[in-house]
Amino acid sequence: MERFSQSLSKNLTLLSVSFLCLSASANAEEPIDVNIMNTVPVSVISTHFKKVSKPVVTSGLVRPVSEQSLTFKVGGIIERVWVKEGQEVKKGQILASLIMDEIDATVEKEQAVYKDAQQQLARISDLKSRQLTAEQLRQQAKTAVDIAHSDLKIALFNKKYSVITAPEDGLILTRSIEPHELVSSGQDAFVFADRKQGWSVKLAVADIDVVKLALNNTASIRLDAYPKQIFQGKVVEISGRADSHSQTFEVDVILAPTNSQSAFQFYSGLIAHTEITSSHTQQLAEIPFSALIKANGSTGTAYVVNPQGQAILKTVTIAYLSGNTVMVKGGLEEGEQVIMQGGQFIAKGSNIRIINPVNIDDPSLITQSDIE
C-alpha cells in the first residue's frame, strides 16, 4: 500500500511538470506587441488665445454712500434725545435738543442791543438833520446798528441749530449722547445715513491691482448675509494715495439700485466680497489645470502633440490660475493640441493614442465625462 502511494505521487508530480512545460511552450509561441505596451491613451484640447481681463477679487465693508456726523452748533446741556441707534427717521424729525435758557437769554440780549442801537441812530440822525452834530457821529451810530444786527443774526442762528433734526429720510447709525450731558460745540451726537443715496462697498486694494482698475468698471458683489444673492455695482472712486498704515488704496464700489434690492435689509459694516472686471486685458490661452505636468511659480510644463503625432514636453508661462483652469501667456502656439488628460503617464519613448479630442472654447466648462 505504501509503495502504491509513493508511485502515485511520483506520477502526479511528473504530470504537473509536463503541463507547465507545455503551457510555457504555447505562450512562447505568441508574439508580444511592444508598441501597444508603450502606447498611452490621452485626451487633448486645442489652444486658443483671446483677450482676457483678470478680475480683481477683494473684500470690504458695506457703507452708506452718504454718511454724516450730526452735531450741535453751540455747546450746552442736553435736554432730550428723541431717537435710538438703528432707528429710521423722516426728514425734519427732531433728534435731540439742548436746554434753551442760556441760548434764549443770549437772543434776548442781542435783540435789546440792536433795538438800542437803532434808537441811538434815529436820535443822532435827527440832530444831524438840524446841523447840531457831526456826520462822523451819525456814521458811528450806523456802524453800531450794523454790528448789533449781525450779533442778533448769530444768536438766532445758534438757537436754530441748538436742535438737531434729520436732514433727509434715513437711518441713525450711531448715537453718542445722553440727556443731561454737557456737550461742546461740534461734538459728534449722531452718525446719520441718507438712504436715498444708496449703499457702497469700501475696498482696500493692493498696488498691483489698483493700476488695473478704472472708473465705471463693473463688479459682482456677494454679501455673507445673503450668500445666494449676487449684487451688481460699479467703481465710482479710486483713491489717489495709499493708506499710510496698510499701503493699500481705497476703492469705492457703489451698489447698482435694482427692484430686488428693496427685499434686502442693508446695514453699515456688512462684509462684502467683490469681483471687479478690470479694464486691463492680455492675450491669454486657457487650459485645464490637469494639463500641467509640473509648475513652479509663473512657469510650468505641459505636453503638446506635434504634427507627427508625438508628445512633446513644453515650458509654458503662467499668467494666473482661475478656478480649475490655467491662464497661459507664453510657450504655446495658436491651435496647438495640449494633452489635458494622460500626460502624467507619458515616459520617454512612449507613443500616444488620442482617444477623445475635446473641442471646447471654454476649458472651464469641461466636465469629467469629457476627459474619461
Note the helical H segments in the chain.
2-28, 34-37, 101-129, 135-160, 207-210, 368-371
Q: What is the DSSP letter of 65?
A: S
Grid cell at residue 19: 503541463
> Strand 249-255 vs strand 226-238: parallel, antiparallel, or unpaired?
antiparallel
Q: What is the pLDDT of residue 260?
A: 54
- As its CATH architecture, domain 39-52+282-371 has Beta Barrel (2.40)
Cβ–Cβ < 8 Å for 350, 308: no
**What is the spatial distance between Cα 6 and Cα 92, in angstroms, rounded to a whole number?**
119
Query: Cβ contacts of residue 295 below 8 Å, gap of 6+?
Result: 301, 318
Q: What is the pLDDT of residue 372?
A: 45
Sign of CA dihedral 342, 348, 353, 358: positive
Grid cell at residue 65: 454712500
Does the model's pTM come out above 0.95?
A: no
Where in the chain is CATH 2.40.420.20? 39-52+282-371
Note down pLDDT in tens along the chain; length 372 residues: 344 344 434 443 433 334 334 344 444 444 444 444 568 898 999 999 998 888 899 999 999 999 999 999 999 999 999 999 989 999 999 999 999 999 999 999 999 999 999 998 888 888 878 777 788 888 888 999 999 999 999 999 999 999 999 999 999 999 999 999 999 999 999 999 998 888 999 999 999 999 989 999 999 999 999 998 999 999 999 999 999 999 999 999 999 876 555 678 888 899 999 999 988 888 999 999 888 999 888 899 999 998 888 888 999 999 888 888 899 999 999 989 999 888 888 887 788 888 875 544 455 444 444 444
Where in the chain is CATH 2.40.50.100? 72-192
- As its CATH architecture, domain 72-192 has Beta Barrel (2.40)
Query: Cβ contacts of residue 182 below 8 Å, gap of 6+?
Result: 75, 76, 77, 78
| Single-letter residue type at 194 | D
Where in the chain is CATH 2.40.30.170? 56-65+197-276
- As its CATH architecture, domain 56-65+197-276 has Beta Barrel (2.40)
